[in-house]
């Protein structure tokens, strides 16, 4: 790769080693810094069916009876608490990546949710919420009268 001032010329493939080096340097720079407050935690997946949306969240180790789930209009909010693992006297963390403390996630959907028909199931550390579309919010065909 040729270098002249700020501009570099050459094959684009030659950039990959530099990009990898930059990524390693950035990772090293941020190692040890606590996660940002408000980070998207827990991780979720959202997908749609014909008349509903499904939201799944990774919540391993959480007591499902201590989760709060609420629906209002087109929004779903769920919250809970990741308990902190107590350390014994003389123990210190070498690495702490698992989230701890309170969390809350809100998901906006493109339709009004039928709150009476929402279901939630917790299995193998995954919370699965099914959010049916409110019947009155579904599009309906309008017939045209012609004379």
In which residue are the tokens 């769920």 written? 78
Of the candidates 81, 126, 121, 130, the one whose C-alpha atom is nearest the C-alpha of residue 104 is: 81
- pLDDT tens-digit series, residues 39-86: 567 889 999 988 899 999 999 989 999 999 999 999 999 999 988 788
Residue 123 within a domain: yes
**CATH (domain of 132):** 2.60.40.790
pTM more than 0.75: no
Query: Residue 59 is part of which domain span?
Result: 44-84+101-136
Residue 67 within a domain: yes
Number of domains forming the structure of the chain: 1
Residue 69 within a domain: yes
- pLDDT tens-digit series, residues 103-134: 999 999 989 999 999 999 999 999 999 999 98
Residue 89 within a domain: no
């Amino acid at each position: 790769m040729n270098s002249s001032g700020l501009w570099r010329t050459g094959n684009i493939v030659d950039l990959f080693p530099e990009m990898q080096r930059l990524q390693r340097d950035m990772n090293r720079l941020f190692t040890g810094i606590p996660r940002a407050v408000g980070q998207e935690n827990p991780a979720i997946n959202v997908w749609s069916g014909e008349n509903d949306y499904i939201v799944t969240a990774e919540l391993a180790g959480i007591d499902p009876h201590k989760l709060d789930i609420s629906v209002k209009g087109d929004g779903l909010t769920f919250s809970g608490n990741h308990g902190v693992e107590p350390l014994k006297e003389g123990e210190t963390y070498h690495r702490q990546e698992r989230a701890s403390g309170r969390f809350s996630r809100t998901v906006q959907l493109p339709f009004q949710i039928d709150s009476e028909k929402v279901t939630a199931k917790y299995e193998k550390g995954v919370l699965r919420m099914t959010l049916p579309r409110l019947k009155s919010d579904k599009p309906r065909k309008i017939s045209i009268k012609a004379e």
